Amino acid sequence: MRSYGTIKRVMVTGGAGFLGSHLCERLIEAGHDVLCIDNFYTGTKDNVAHLLGHPHFELMRHDVTFPLYVEVDEIYNLACPASPVHYQYDPVQTTKTSVHGAINMLGLAKRLKAKILQASTSEVYGDPQVHPQREDYWGHVNPIGLRSCYDEGKRCAETLFFDYHRQHKLRIKVARIFNTYGPRMHPSDGRVVSNFIVQALRGEPITIYGDGSQTRSFCYVDDLIAGLMRLMDTGDDFTGPVNIGNPGEFTILELARKVVAFTGSKSEILHKPLPSDDPLQRQPDLTLARAHLNWEPSTALDAGLQKTIAYFSQLLAKA
Ligand code: NAD
Ligand code: UDP
Ligand code: UDP
């Protein structure tokens, strides 16, 4: 089941999740054969239901913390819960998924001489003291806090990727993904964009943690996936890590106001305590991405929010 002609066999771990399902779709559209691996911890079969039966799509239930023997040409390693609510639910499993998952997928890539991309995160910068964040910033991460299972798991995965690269000459790509939103986020995912939109559409209070002055830079899913695929296609000498995200930075209060305005909701704003170690600010420096991927995001927050609101309106109308 190796490549034939120009068609590549591409594996996506976490392929039934939010980002993974969009990636599987785009890879099939690009003419590749896609093997989607997922244990359905936070992802669902519904996310890829429309791909089942496609001759170039295969779905396999598997937990990446266990070894996997398949034959593929390229690997996108996305398996890992991404919402703080989900990754803190079983923090030991979160670290295992990032660390054991990376070891197994790197072992697989080593045996196959396959190219492998890691979905890392802006969380490797922690609560950053340098702003905006460039890839050469080492970060400010609490190693023992509630977010550490995710942040340190992802940091260790990056270490493993670079050691397999140096020690075993693996072809690696490391993407540091900044907050991404769009259709197919789970309505009870817990992340800010889906929370606010669902709350606004239901007329429930919009829950702002803290005073809402903390910032995030939100990237629309289609832009993000295009960036990941560009990264996979860069020459073998480019490994990253490279930031992929949208530099448009907004306070959480600004986001709430936009969602209320675009939905025409009567929801009020309700302040709740700020979770511990919640980063105060976050914005990607895209200099490296622009230079090496010839890529930058094209969807502004307003346009992306409108599309995401349309998706959730339909979803909630069906429920
Ligand atoms: P998601 O929770 O929707 O998707 C993660 C997928 O991984 C789910 O389908 C889940 O079932 C699967 N999974 C979890 N543990 C697994 C395991 N042990 N074995 C196999 N599958 C497993 O989250 P997402 O937003 O699609 O994130 C995808 C990847 O991108 C994650 O690695 C995440 O850390 C990274 N990322 C996402 C964002 C973002 O804003 N969406 C930001 C930074 C990094
Ligand atoms: N592995 C895997 N699939 C493969 C090859 C390896 O899941 O096709 C796993 C295997 O379980 C191993 C890990 O990847 O524990 C790391 O592999 P590596 O070859 O680096 O180490 P070793 O097998 O020598 O421990
Ligand atoms: N947040 C919020 N209300 C919510 C969910 C999140 O105010 O209902 C805040 C959260 O405290 C954080 C920001 O929004 O400051 C982004 O949170 P998210 O969980 O989406 O992502 P992350 O913190 O991992 O960037």
Confidence class for position 277, pLDDT limits 50, 70, 90: very high
The one catalytic residue in 41, 150, 164, 181 is: 150
CATH of the domain at 235: 3.40.50.720
- Residue 150 designated active-site: yes
Domain span at residue 115 reads 9-180+221-245+284-298
Sign of the torsion formed by the C-alpha atoms of 75, 125, 44 and 25:
negative
Query: Is residue 95 situated within a structural domain?
Result: yes
Mean pLDDT, to the nearest integer, of 15-28?
Answer: 98
Atom 18 (ligand 2) nearest CA = 107
Q: Specify if 269 maps to a domain.
A: no
The ipTM estimated for the assembled molecules is 0.98
284: number of Cβ within 10 Å: 27
Strand partners, 242: 175
Atom in ligand 2 nearest the alpha carbon of residue 112? 8
Q: What is the pLDDT of residue 240?
A: 98
Q: What percent of the chain has pLDDT over 70?
A: 98
The total number of residues shown for the chain amounts to 319
- Ligand 3 neighbour 86 (Cβ under 6 A): no
Asked, for residue 186, whether it belongs to a domain, the answer is no
Domain annotation covers residue 24: yes
Q: Is 165 part of any domain? A: yes
- Reported as a single tens digit per residue, the pLDDT across 205-245 is 999 999 999 999 999 999 999 999 999 999 999 999 999 99
Residue among 186, 209, 267 whose CB has most ligand 3 atoms within 8 A, to mutate? 209
**Is residue 122 in some structural domain?**
yes
pTM above 0.90, yes or no: yes
- Provide the pLDDT for residue 318: 86
CA-nearest residue for atom 23, ligand 2, is 107
Mind listing the pLDDT tens digit for each residue in 41-91? 999 999 999 999 999 999 999 999 999 999 999 999 999 999 999 999 999
Which atom of ligand 2 lies closest to the CA of 67?
7
Give the number of domains in the chain. 1
Residue 3 has pLDDT above 70, yes or no: no
Mean pLDDT of 26-31: 97
Atom of ligand 3 minimally distant from the CA of 279 = 15
Percent of the chain with pLDDT over 90: 97
Ligand 3 near 208 CB (within 6 A): yes
> Is pLDDT of 1 > 50?
no
Has residue 104 been placed in a domain?
A: yes
Residue 198 domain-assigned (yes or no):
no
pLDDT at 122: 98
Inter-residue long-range contacts of 296-303, CB under 8 Å, 24+ positions, other chains counted:
297/219, 297/220, 297/223, 297/224, 297/227, 297/245, 297/246, 297/247, 298/223, 299/219, 299/220, 299/222, 299/223, 299/246, 300/248, 301/218, 301/246, 301/248, 301/250, 301/255, 301/258, 302/258, 302/262, 303/220
